[in-house]
């Protein structure tokens, strides 16, 4: 076998990665479908196509090739339905601002996709009913007319109205915008039943109600959904509803403002929910599993003290979907973060929970097939691939989308480096050694801080980390208190942001430098995004031990965060125990901006103009404060991007972002 020369990971290598998402199985479980995405050649976006996996033969083949297929629905055993704009007429209508979705139908054994129907709604499809109707979730506006069945004159008037309103926005509710969606004032996700034969769209939810999640049991004629009226300002606590299709009847099972509902599914006609009342640990409280019946009875089934989702961080995913949780047979399947990895889990009807996979990294999506679970995973420091899960939990790779990277690049492992902190708590940490490491030689170091705070780092491929390791850096990171995967008590840092979590990070840094003396402490930098950006801002105001810092999509001032961000009106107050009017000192005490006059560390700020999770005001305030106090700083603001810049931004912007980060850290660490 010919030996392949491996080279170091380079900055633009991520343009060649393949990203897998939206994995689900056919009704019989004999076939699975999924979406494969890649960066477009012009670096302006991503191309996505639907692929098919034959469960028996484990063969994978591409089904669509237009490059714009990002979601789909199994209509039956051999047919997929997906939305797409494949004609100039459809694209022009969409560009004009008219709500418009076109659905195509394609057989999984090949052939051209056939136009199935179009609807005058911006929508996604959730299920097909026995009578030929479809359950849709549509993006609508309270103050705009629906155009289903509208005349050409009505459509023209709609376009003229949009033109007249293009220069201003009106806000009269909270939140008024949302990251990734833009301005959401009087904008709602509504539930519809659509009949292609008649063109009729029947609204199930009222114009002011925001639908959060949906499950459908076509055989029993039940739609289960969660949501709320956004006029409830205090928290994003949802109601739960049964809609009986035959009787056109809605029943409230869980009232709004009762609990946060993070997962839902219909299980033999009953609602299974993963919910939290937030009484003990606030908005970050782990969800328990309940049955919620139409008569209002809520019965506890299991309390695992774990998140019902994967929270493992990575910058090498794109797309999502279909991995949240679903009932197959007598089990509810879901993902959960356990310590420093995420796994596929199964909830039994009696309340027992089993761990089905033994992934070393992250299970990103799953399908339950006739041969057992099939998952999209980042396993053994590899990029995403498909894996069959064995009865013993082992993962067998059954795709090769990123083998060209695995075969030709140096991918460094993340070595566990756990330690016990000064409070006697085990903190899980990891270190990636530089490519070509030579003992006895001094190397620069980089401490990375994850977002959240309730997420986790582990043995998962990060392009940014591999890039630095390839260029001679030790990269190290840990899961301080506040992280996910260790239960409510470990994750609870309310009223103490910058306290125990900061101590854990600094003690971890001390431990790493003690264990690996080849890291030069004078040439060690720190970087992080979101909560990691907050922590970077906090760090530079409390120590000058780092030679450089990179703060991305950060928070610097909890008062402005509470007033400007899409979740600040409840998250900031819940996490810090005060409001602007009562307990202002608590918000200010945990704001990095308060300590900015003490900063001595040269700091680069990365922010996105349309980041509504951590608005650009946060980065601008911190940048301004550093410059005012003669601390070297630079800010790079990306137009047209949001909080997901590092993971789903335009590829050319992601390249520039990495160039900014790499150039800044190299400047101070490679002198």
Distance, in Å, from the CA atom of 237 to the CA atom of 390, rounded to the nearest integer, reads: 38
Alpha helices in 430-557 (DSSP H): 463-470, 488-491, 500-515, 531-540
DSSP state string for 227-271: EEETT--S--PEEEEEEETTTTEEEEEEEEEEEEEEEEEEETTEE
β-strands 101-107, 114-119 pairing: antiparallel
User: How does pLDDT run across 389-411, given as a tens digit for each residue?
Assistant: 999 999 999 999 999 999 999 99
601 neighbors 547 (Cβ within 8 angstroms): yes
pLDDT-derived band at 555 (thresholds 50, 70, 90) equals very high
525 neighbors 547 (Cβ within 8 angstroms): yes
Distance, in Å, from the CA atom of 21 to the CA atom of 37, rounded to the nearest integer, reads: 8
pLDDT-derived band at 235 (thresholds 50, 70, 90) equals low
Mean pLDDT (whole number) for 582-590? 95
> b vs e for 173-191, b when ≥16 Cβ sit within 10 Å of the residue's Cβ?
ebbbbbbeeeebbbbbbbb
Query: What integer pLDDT is reported at residue 231 of this predicted model?
Result: 59
Task: List the beta bridge partners of residue 347.
Answer: 332, 353
83 neighbors 115 (Cβ within 8 angstroms): no
HEC profile for 117-135? EEECCEEEEEEECCCCCEE
Residue 36 in tokens: 């494969």
Residues with Cβ < 8 Å from 393, sequence gap 6 or more?
A: 355, 356, 357, 358
Residue 23 in tokens: 């994995």
Query: What integer pLDDT is reported at residue 458 of this predicted model?
Result: 98
Query: What integer pLDDT is reported at residue 323 of this predicted model?
Result: 65
In this structure, the dihedral spanned by the alpha carbons of residues 665, 668, 670 and 671, taken in order and rounded to 10 degrees, is 160
Residue 42 has pLDDT above 80, yes or no: yes
Distance, in Å, from the CA atom of 521 to the CA atom of 507, rounded to the nearest integer, reads: 14
Mean pLDDT (whole number) for 479-504? 98
Mean pLDDT (whole number) for 82-89? 93
Distance, in Å, from the CA atom of 83 to the CA atom of 100, rounded to the nearest integer, reads: 10
- Average pLDDT along the chain: 96
User: How does pLDDT run across 276-303, given as a tens digit for each residue?
Assistant: 999 999 999 999 999 999 999 999 999 9
589 neighbors 595 (Cβ within 8 angstroms): no
Distance, in Å, from the CA atom of 581 to the CA atom of 514, rounded to the nearest integer, reads: 45
396 neighbors 388 (Cβ within 8 angstroms): yes
Distance, in Å, from the CA atom of 594 to the CA atom of 588, rounded to the nearest integer, reads: 7
Query: What integer pLDDT is reported at residue 236 of this predicted model?
Result: 73
- Catalogue the E-assigned strands of 55-186: 60-62, 73-76, 79-83, 101-107, 114-119, 122-128, 134-141, 177-178, 182-183
189 neighbors 139 (Cβ within 8 angstroms): yes
Query: What integer pLDDT is reported at residue 324 of this predicted model?
Result: 79
Distances (CA, A) of 659 to 12, 198, 625, 656: 10, 54, 24, 5
pTM, 2 dp:
0.97
Q: Could you give phi then psi for residue 206, rounded to 5 degrees?
A: -80, 165
Report helix, strand or coil for 89: helix
| Residue 456 DSSP class | B
| Residue 239 DSSP class | E
Q: 342: buried, middle or exposed (CB in 10 Å: 19+, 13-18, 0-12)?
A: buried
Report the 10 Å Cβ neighbour count for 364: 25
Distances (CA, A) of 326 to 41, 266, 345: 36, 8, 11
Share of the chain above pLDDT 90, in %: 96
Query: What integer pLDDT is reported at residue 322 of this predicted model?
Result: 63
Query: What integer pLDDT is reported at residue 4 of this predicted model?
Result: 58
Distances (CA, A) of 352 to 24, 330, 558: 24, 12, 40
Distance, in Å, from the CA atom of 283 to the CA atom of 256, rounded to the nearest integer, reads: 15
Nearest CA among 344, 512, 279 for reference residue 418: 512
Residues with Cβ < 8 Å from 126, sequence gap 6 or more?
A: 73, 134, 135, 136, 137, 214, 216
Report helix, strand or coil for 13: helix
pLDDT-derived band at 1 (thresholds 50, 70, 90) equals very low
Distance, in Å, from the CA atom of 565 to the CA atom of 545, rounded to the nearest integer, reads: 31
Task: List the beta bridge partners of residue 138.
Answer: 123, 190
Task: List the beta bridge partners of residue 369.
Answer: 372
Alpha helices in 234-361 (DSSP H): none
Q: Please, what are the domains in the chain?
A: 406-556+591-669 (3.40.50.1820)
Residue 597 in tokens: 């006059």
Residues with Cβ < 8 Å from 160, sequence gap 6 or more?
A: none
Query: What integer pLDDT is reported at residue 588 of this predicted model?
Result: 97
Mean pLDDT (whole number) for 621-626? 98
Residue 101 has pLDDT above 90, yes or no: yes
Distance, in Å, from the CA atom of 619 to the CA atom of 554, rounded to the nearest integer, reads: 6
Nearest CA among 557, 564, 549, 565 for reference residue 635: 549
Q: Could you give phi then psi for residue 159, rounded to 5 degrees?
A: -65, -40
Query: What integer pLDDT is reported at residue 110 of this predicted model?
Result: 83
Query: What integer pLDDT is reported at residue 16 of this predicted model?
Result: 98
Distance, in Å, from the CA atom of 389 to the CA atom of 357, rounded to the nearest integer, reads: 6
Distance, in Å, from the CA atom of 559 to the CA atom of 587, rounded to the nearest integer, reads: 6
313 neighbors 456 (Cβ within 8 angstroms): yes
Query: What integer pLDDT is reported at residue 320 of this predicted model?
Result: 79
Cis peptide leading into residue 508 (ω within 30°): no
Distance, in Å, from the CA atom of 501 to the CA atom of 481, rounded to the nearest integer, reads: 5
Query: What integer pLDDT is reported at residue 229 of this predicted model?
Result: 87
447 neighbors 546 (Cβ within 8 angstroms): yes
Query: What integer pLDDT is reported at residue 2 of this predicted model?
Result: 47
> b vs e for 392-401, b when ≥16 Cβ sit within 10 Å of the residue's Cβ?
eeebeebbeb
């Amino acid at each position: 076998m010919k030996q392949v020369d491996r080279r170091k990971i380079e900055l633009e290598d991520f343009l060649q990665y393949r990203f897998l998402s939206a994995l689900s199985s056919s009704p019989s479980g004999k076939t699975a479908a999924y979406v494969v995405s890649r960066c477009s050649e012009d670096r302006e976006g991503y191309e996505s196509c639907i692929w098919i996996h034959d469960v028996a033969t484990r063969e994978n083949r591409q089904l669509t090739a237009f490059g714009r297929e990002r979601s789909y629905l199994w209509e039956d055993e051999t047919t997929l339905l997906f939305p797409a704009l494949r004609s100039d007429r459809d694209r022009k209508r969409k560009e004009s601002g008219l709500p418009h979705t076109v659905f195509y139908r394609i057989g999984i054994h090949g052939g051209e996709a056939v136009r199935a129907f179009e609807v005058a709604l911006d929508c996604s499809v959730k299920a097909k009913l026995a009578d030929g109707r479809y359950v849709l979730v549509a993006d609508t506006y309270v103050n705009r007319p629906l155009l289903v069945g509208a005349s050409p004159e009505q459509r023209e008037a709609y376009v003229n109205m949009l033109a007249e309103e293009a220069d201003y926005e009106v806000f009269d509710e909270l939140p008024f915008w949302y990251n990734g969606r833009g301005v959401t004032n009087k904008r709602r996700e509504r539930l519809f039943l659509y009949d292609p034969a008649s063109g009729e769209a029947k609204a199930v939810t009222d114009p002011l109600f925001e639908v959060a999640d949906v499950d459908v049991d076509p055989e029993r004629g039940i739609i289960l959904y969660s949501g709320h009226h956004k006029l409830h300002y205090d928290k994003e606590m949802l109601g739960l509803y049964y809609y009986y299709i035959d009787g056109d009847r809605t029943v409230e099972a869980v009232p709004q403002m009762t609990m946060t509902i993070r997962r839902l599914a219909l299980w033999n006609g009953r609602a299974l929910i993963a919910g939290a009342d937030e009484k003990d640990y606030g908005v970050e409280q782990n969800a328990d599993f309940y049955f919620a019946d139409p008569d209002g009875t809520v019965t506890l089934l299991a309390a695992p003290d774990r998140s019902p989702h994967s929270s493992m961080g990575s910058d090498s995913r794109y797309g999502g979907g279909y991995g949240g949780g679903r009932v197959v047979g007598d089990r509810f399947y879901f993902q959960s973060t356990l310590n420093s990895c995420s796994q596929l889990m199964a909830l039994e009807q009696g309340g027992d929970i089993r761990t089905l996979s033994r992934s070393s990294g992250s299970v990103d999506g799953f399908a339950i097939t006739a041969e057992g679970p099939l998952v999209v995973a980042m396993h053994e420091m590899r990029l995403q691939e498909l894996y069959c899960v064995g009865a013993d939990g082992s993962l067998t790779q059954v795709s090769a989308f990123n083998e060209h990277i695995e075969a030709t690049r140096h991918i460094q492992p993340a070595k566990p480096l756990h330690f016990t902190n000064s409070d006697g708590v085990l903190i899980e940490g990891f270190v990636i050694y530089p490519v070509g490491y030579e003992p006895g030689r001094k190397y620069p170091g980089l401490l990375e801080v994850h977002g959240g705070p309730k997420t986790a780092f582990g043995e998962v491929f990060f392009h940014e980390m591999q890039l630095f390791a390839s260029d001679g850096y030790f990269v190290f990171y840990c899961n301080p208190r506040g992280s996910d995967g260790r239960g409510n008590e470990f994750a609870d840092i309310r009223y103490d942001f910058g306290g125990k979590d900061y101590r854990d990070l600094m003690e971890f840094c001390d431990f790493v430098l003690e264990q690996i003396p080849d890291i030069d402490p004078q040439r060690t930098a720190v970087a992080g995004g979101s909560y990691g950006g907050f922590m970077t801002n906090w760090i530079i105001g409390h120590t000058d031990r780092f030679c450089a810092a990179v703060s991305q999509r950060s928070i610097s001032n909890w008062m402005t965060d509470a007033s400007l961000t899409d979740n600040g009106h409840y998250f900031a107050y819940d996490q810090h125990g005060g409001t602007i009017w009562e307990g202002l000192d608590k918000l200010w005490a945990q704001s990095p901006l308060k300590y900015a006059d003490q900063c001595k560390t040269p700091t680069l700020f990365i922010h996105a103009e349309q980041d509504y999770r951590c608005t650009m005001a946060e980065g601008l305030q911190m940048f301004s404060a550093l410059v005012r106090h003669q601390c070297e700083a630079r800010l790079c603001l990306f137009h047209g991007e949001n909080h997901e810049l590092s993971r789903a931004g335009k590829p050319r912007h992601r390249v520039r972002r990495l160039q900014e980060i790499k150039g800044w850290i190299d400047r101070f660490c490679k002198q």
